[in-house]
Chain A
Amino acid sequence: MKPISRRKLMTGGLAATAGVAGLAAAARMAERYGLIPPDHGGIYGPGETLTYAAQRLLTTHSLAREFSRSMISKSPFANETPPPNDSFKRHQASGFSDWRLSVDGMVARPASLSLSDLKSLPVRSQITEVVCEEGWSYIAEWIGTPLVEVLNVAGLLPQARYVAYFSIDKDWWESVDMADALHPQTFLSYGMNDGDLPVSFGGPLRMRVPRQLGYKSVKYITRLTVTDSMKSFGKGLGSAEPEAGYAWYAGI
């Protein structure tokens, strides 16, 4: 091996210093522009942060692919979860007439909306694919109101950074950043393929986040909360999924 010359040592040292300084500056910029996911800690943090930051720079306003009516799956797979608990069964017995969605947190007017309140908001539909992290998928038409309409009713405060949402099943809660919360295809869905949303597919109310994997599309939604930080929710990793070992950001 040749001895390293002084010039090489100096240029190498300068390059390394510039690299470290560059990384530190990049980290500050990333934090400022919301490119750091809540589950950025741990050994998989670097990969997760790279994925989330790259996706956010690339996909802020892009629309998930929509399909023609003829592409709707004839036999979609519900991945059926049994109706989660007694409280749900009582709602189901009464035809979900008392189902409420509460909206709280960093909003000007906290609200509690019935299904008919939700149906009086602008109705939209989308034919998009549900993509499970396991590998399978199906296409369905989803009918509902964009989440942004509900957030507008409640009056979003400017410091909002995440919208957390909760199932009647206590173990299933999620959150999305504002790019996905305000995205026109992020729906609170109550209809599927021209009918009511079946219970096995998340009825009476399911969040649809078509730019992310299926586990972000939480079933049986009862509550939304707007926040500037996910630190005080659960273990502070952003949602229930990272606590079970899965990534918070599921756009991959």
Chain B
Amino acid sequence: MTHWITVIAFFALLISGVEIVISHPRFYWGEVGNVNTAPLFTLHIPSSRDTVPTGYAVLPDQNGWSRYLHFQAAWAAVLTGLVYAISSLWTGHFRQDLFPTPPDRTWRAFWEVIARYLRRAPPDEAEAHSYNVVQRTAYLSVIFVLFPLVIWTGLAMSPAFDSAVPAAVNLLGGRQSARTLHFFVSGLLLLFLIVHVTMVVLAGFRSRMRAMITGRATVPERALERT
């Protein structure tokens, strides 16, 4: 349930985030940055503002609804994340299903799973019902590193929030650094999404979807269960 709300919120954040970037597709480092200062890098895409020199025609301004949607979806994602985190602590989901089991906490175990993926060898039957060490590491990184970072870098761009908690932006090296980091962390989340969905498809889209929606895994005849 929390997964699917997060999916909807993530797509809303992604689409509206792209629209907001289009209004100023230049990135900077430090506290300030604008068209009169040197960018860290520039995305070679058209912009929705004629004040940004891109060489392309100016696109229509879509920032109004994009911003409303971005912040509403952020609330949905954060509140859903809280429900997920609290209920996972309560039920032991993190401990039982996500923290790697003691024998798996070695680089060797990690690389063995990677090697199996590269060989495209079928997983053992246990993986139909539980996650392997690579999956666990990826999920934990998203839950405990990327999500907190994307929220922090996002909040650091709020002038009012920064007035209450100046360290939120100062620790990141300034407002423009926060914006650039927000862009990169969002990129990493998108990368995770692409790999995650690819794996679901490779593992057999129908059976995995059934498992993800109903919460019950069935072991298919060809045990190709990797998400």
- On A, residues with C-beta under 8 Å from B are 44, 46-48, 50-51, 55, 58-59, 62-65, 67, 71, 73, 75-77, 79, 129, 131-139, 210-213, 241, 244-247, 251-252
Q: Interface digits, B162-181 against A, CB 8 Å rule (1 contact, 0 not)?
A: 11101001100001100100
Q: How long is the Cα–Cα vector from A132 to B179 in the complex, in angstroms? A: 12
Tell whether, in the assembled complex, residue B163 and residue A62 are in contact, meaning their CB atoms are under 8 Å apart.
yes
Interface of chain B, main secondary structure: helix
B223 interface residue per 8 A CB criterion: no
Q: Count B-side interface residues using an 8 Å CB cutoff.
A: 40
Residues of B contacting A211 in the complex (Cβ-Cβ under 8 angstroms): 159-160, 163
Q: Out of A47, A73, A212, A213, name the residue touching B68 (CB < 8 Å).
A: A47
Tell whether, in the assembled complex, residue B63 and residue A133 are in contact, meaning their CB atoms are under 8 Å apart.
yes
| CB-based nearest A residue for B154 | A252
Q: How long is the Cα–Cα vector from A133 to B179 in the complex, in angstroms? A: 12
Q: A251-B158, A251-B160 are in contact. Are A51 and B71 (CB under 8 A)?
A: yes
Q: How long is the Cα–Cα vector from A211 to B71 in the complex, in angstroms? A: 17
B67 interface residue per 8 A CB criterion: yes
Tell whether, in the assembled complex, residue B67 and residue A133 are in contact, meaning their CB atoms are under 8 Å apart.
yes
Most buried by B among A64, A76, A134, A252: A134
B23 interface residue per 8 A CB criterion: yes
Tell whether, in the assembled complex, residue A135 and residue B65 are in contact, meaning their CB atoms are under 8 Å apart.
no
Residues of A contacting B97 in the complex (Cβ-Cβ under 8 angstroms): none
Residues of A contacting B191 in the complex (Cβ-Cβ under 8 angstroms): none
3 nearest CB pairs, A to B: A245-B64, A47-B72, A251-B160
Q: How long is the Cα–Cα vector from A64 to B37 in the complex, in angstroms? A: 23
Tell whether, in the assembled complex, residue B159 and residue A131 are in contact, meaning their CB atoms are under 8 Å apart.
yes
| CB-based nearest A residue for B66 | A245
- On B, residues with C-beta under 8 Å from A are 20-21, 23-24, 26, 31-37, 49, 51, 63-65, 67-69, 71-76, 157-164, 166, 169-170, 175-176, 179
* Shortest beta-carbon distance from A193 to chain B in Å: 14
Tell whether, in the assembled complex, residue B20 and residue A75 are in contact, meaning their CB atoms are under 8 Å apart.
no
* Shortest beta-carbon distance from B204 to chain A in Å: 23
Tell whether, in the assembled complex, residue B32 and residue A63 are in contact, meaning their CB atoms are under 8 Å apart.
no
Tell whether, in the assembled complex, residue A51 and residue B75 are in contact, meaning their CB atoms are under 8 Å apart.
yes
List 13 additional A-B contacts (Cβ < 8 Å) besides A47-B75, A135-B20, A138-B34.
A44-B72, A58-B164, A65-B166, A71-B31, A73-B32, A76-B36, A134-B20, A135-B21, A136-B34, A211-B159, A246-B64, A251-B158, A252-B159
Tell whether, in the assembled complex, residue B32 and residue A138 are in contact, meaning their CB atoms are under 8 Å apart.
yes
Most buried by A among B49, B74, B158, B160: B160
Residues of A contacting B63 in the complex (Cβ-Cβ under 8 angstroms): 133-134, 245-246
| CB-based nearest B residue for A48 | B68
Tell whether, in the assembled complex, residue B24 and residue A136 are in contact, meaning their CB atoms are under 8 Å apart.
yes
Query: Could you show 11 A-B contacts with beta carbons less than 8 Å apart?
Result: A51-B71, A55-B160, A58-B164, A62-B164, A73-B32, A76-B36, A77-B51, A129-B32, A131-B175, A133-B63, A137-B34
Q: How long is the Cα–Cα vector from A246 to B68 in the complex, in angstroms? A: 7
Tell whether, in the assembled complex, residue B157 and residue A252 are in contact, meaning their CB atoms are under 8 Å apart.
yes
Tell whether, in the assembled complex, residue B161 and residue A55 are in contact, meaning their CB atoms are under 8 Å apart.
yes
Q: A59-B164, A134-B23, A134-B49 are in contact. Are A77 and B34 (CB under 8 A)?
A: yes
